[in-house]
Amino acid sequence: MSARDFNKSLSAFRAGKLVERMTALINPGGYNQAAEDVRAHLQGRLDHLSGEVFVDTPA
């Protein structure tokens, strides 16, 4: 591999895939923990959503 191989531009998609691959290779536990943190955060937000939009039906 030569220096000119590194002078090619990447699309946003390819750059994202490269970062995902590097992250998975370097620290798979950290990647998994980040995904779990996001899932837990979103679940917490969804759990509170029902209380915020609930309206009693008239009797």
Q: Alpha-carbon distance 9 to 35, whole Å?
A: 28
Asked whether residue 47 is domain-assigned, the answer is: yes
**SS3 label, residue 9:** coil
Average of per-residue pLDDT across 28-41: 86
Asked whether residue 42 is domain-assigned, the answer is: yes
Cβ atoms of 12 and 5 within 8 Å: the answer is: no
Asked whether residue 58 is domain-assigned, the answer is: no
Q: How many CA atoms lie within 13 A of 38 on its CB side?
A: 5
Question: Which pLDDT belongs to residue 38?
Answer: 93
Asked whether residue 28 is domain-assigned, the answer is: yes
Confidence of residue 3 (pLDDT cuts 50, 70, 90): low
Instruction: Tell me the whole-structure pTM to 2 decimals.
Output: 0.42
Q: Alpha-carbon distance 33 to 13, whole Å?
A: 23
